[in-house]
């Protein structure tokens, strides 16, 4: 920056100006050349000296970005403290020394929303129950939730899913024929239905029961583990849950997918929007306004009032057979089978294959038949029909709609 001193000796300036004016008005100067030169030198000496002070620019301290921790586990040889269903370390490895708890959660009627405890689930299976409705089967293994629900009745597909994950089913009974098949398949020891002696494992909220009994039952997963372990012939020990693969780095071969909407029925929509900051998909759900119009609102967990977010969103294309005319009884060809699946992770979509057995977790394979690597974290699986349509509405924005035979 240029700094100047602005004080000039007035006398010297006056002398110089006087000599200049006199030169213009008189033929001969009043002052001798020596006097003029002397006055000029005095004036010049009094003029400010230009000094330059450089502006100091500080070099910003670079922000140190921590090196991301790369997680890569599966499909077997998981460390003792790593959950094989999420690829994440657990706070207490002893928590994994049990069977997973798999709890039926209602999505309809809407009066039961927002749901409780879904943010703590490792995996949520979301499947069609008929007449445009759906229901959830939430799996708890690496974490517990003190409130899960509202809990509804079982379906035929539950017996297969619970067997695949070596779990314990929690439900509020079922239609008699369905309940019998569930008990025959899993054994009564691994099936818990709400009753007068199940609390605190599974309790009925009496206040809600008077208003809407079908949305009044809730579970506590830690208490359910204790309840199951106390039953005769219970084997509440660590099970072999190998099969899934987790890797922090997304695989190659995906296409952009920042938004997904899945439709199970009229006004029954699940919307997922990718959040690059968390690398998770945020969940939205249908809501009917007072004027009858449909809107999408954030789906929160009533336990913590936070919007649900999941690391992996999967759609399986599964043959669904309707067993009765009123579309309320179905059999899913999910057990010991293969089929197509779409996996959404890290803002990308992958077209893959799923493979299932009788007592092993569902595996996902890439186009070359290698285990597909999921993002470490929780997973939401929409079990949709084999005729499900897939539409890209705009770049990276997908819409899928269940299709039945």
**CA of 310: how far to CAs of 107, 114, 138, 278, 341, in Å?**
18, 17, 13, 10, 17
Asked if 25 and 137 sit in the same domain, the reply is: no
Asked if 20 and 107 sit in the same domain, the reply is: no
Give residues with Cβ within 8 angstroms of 94, minimum separation 6: none
Q: What is the pTM of this model?
A: 0.84
pLDDT at 42: 54
pLDDT at 62: 54
Asked if 26 and 155 sit in the same domain, the reply is: no
The last residue of a domain, from among 52, 72, 89: 52
Mind listing the pLDDT tens digit for each residue in 359-377? 999 999 999 999 999 999 9
Domain contains 139: yes
Neighbouring C-alpha atoms within 13 Å toward the C-beta of 250: 17
Give me the CATH number covering residue 162.
3.50.90.10
Domain contains 73: no
Asked if 256 and 109 sit in the same domain, the reply is: yes
Domain contains 63: no
E strand segments, 299-388:
300-301, 306-307, 309-310, 312-318, 320-322, 330-332, 338-345, 348-355, 363-365, 373-374, 379-385
Asked if 48 and 84 sit in the same domain, the reply is: no
CA–CA distance, 85 with 94 (Å, rounded to integer): 15
Give residues with Cβ within 8 angstroms of 328, minimum separation 6: 129, 130, 131
Asked if 32 and 151 sit in the same domain, the reply is: no
Asked if 15 and 129 sit in the same domain, the reply is: no
Asked if 298 and 193 sit in the same domain, the reply is: yes
The DSSP result for 265-307, as a single string, is ETTEEEEEEEETTTTEEEEEEEEE-TTS-EEEEE-EETTTTEE
Asked if 202 and 279 sit in the same domain, the reply is: yes
pLDDT at 63: 54
pLDDT at 24: 39
Asked if 42 and 185 sit in the same domain, the reply is: no
Domain contains 59: no
Domain contains 64: no
pLDDT at 68: 65
Domain contains 70: no
**CA of 16: how far to CAs of 19, 29, 47, 247, 283, in Å?**
5, 12, 13, 86, 85
Dmax (CA) for the chain in angstroms is 133
Gyration radius of the chain's alpha carbons: 37
Asked if 132 and 48 sit in the same domain, the reply is: no
Which parts of the chain register pLDDT below 70?
Answer: 1-68
**Looking at the 3D structure of the chain, how many domains does it have?**
2
Strands 300-301, 306-307: pairing is antiparallel
Asked if 107 and 176 sit in the same domain, the reply is: yes
Structural domain containing residue 15: 2-52
Alpha helices (H) in 197-276, listed in sequence order: 206-211, 221-229
Domain contains 108: yes
Domain contains 62: no
């Amino acid at each position: 920056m240029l700094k100047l001193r602005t004080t000039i000796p007035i006398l010297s300036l006056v002398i110089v100006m006087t000599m200049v004016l006199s030169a213009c008005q008189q033929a001969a100067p009043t002052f001798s050349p020596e006097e003029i030169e002397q006055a000029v030198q005095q004036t010049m000496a009094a003029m400010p000296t230009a000094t330059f002070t450089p502006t100091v620019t500080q070099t910003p301290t670079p922000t140190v970005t921590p090196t991301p921790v790369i997680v890569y586990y599966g499909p077997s040889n998981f460390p003792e403290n790593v959950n094989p269903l999420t690829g994440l370390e657990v706070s207490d490895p002893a928590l994994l020394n049990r069977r997973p708890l798999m709890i039926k959660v209602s999505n309809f009627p809407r009066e039961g929303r927002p749901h409780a405890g879904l943010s703590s689930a490792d995996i949520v299976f979301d499947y069609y129950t008929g007449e445009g409705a759906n229901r959830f089967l939430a799996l708890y293994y690496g974490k517990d939730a003190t409130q899960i629900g509202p809990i509804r009745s079982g379906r035929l597909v539950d017996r297969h899913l619970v067997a695949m994950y070596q779990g314990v089913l929690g439900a509020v009974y079922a239609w008699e024929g369905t309940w019998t098949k569930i008990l025959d398949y899993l054994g009564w020891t691994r099936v818990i239905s709400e009753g007068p002696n199940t609390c605190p494992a599974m309790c009925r909220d009496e206040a809600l029961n008077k208003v809407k009994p079908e949305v009044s039952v809730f579970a506590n997963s830690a208490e359910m583990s204790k309840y199951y372990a106390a039953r005769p012939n219970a084997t509440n020990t660590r099970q072999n849950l190998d099969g899934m693969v987790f890797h922090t780095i997304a695989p190659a071969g995906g296409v952009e997918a920042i938004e997904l909407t899945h439709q199970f029925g009229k006004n029954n929509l699940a919307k997922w929007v990718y959040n690059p900051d968390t690398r998770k998909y945020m969940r939205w759900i249908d809501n009917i306004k007072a004027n009858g119009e449909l809107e999408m609102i954030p789906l929160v967990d009533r336990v913590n009032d936070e919007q649900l977010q999941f690391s992996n969103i999967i759609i399986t294309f599964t043959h669904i057979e309707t067993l009765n005319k009123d579309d309320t009884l179905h059999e899913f060809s999910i057990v010991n089978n293969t089929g197509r699946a779409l996996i959404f992770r890290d803002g990308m979509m992958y077209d893959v294959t799923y493979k299932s057995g009788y007592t092993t977790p569902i595996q996902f394979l890439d186009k070359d038949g290698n285990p597909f690597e999921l993002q470490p974290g929780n997973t939401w699986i929409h079990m949709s029909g084999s005729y499900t349509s897939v539409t890209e509405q705009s770049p990276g924005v997908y819409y899928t709609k269940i299709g039945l035979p």
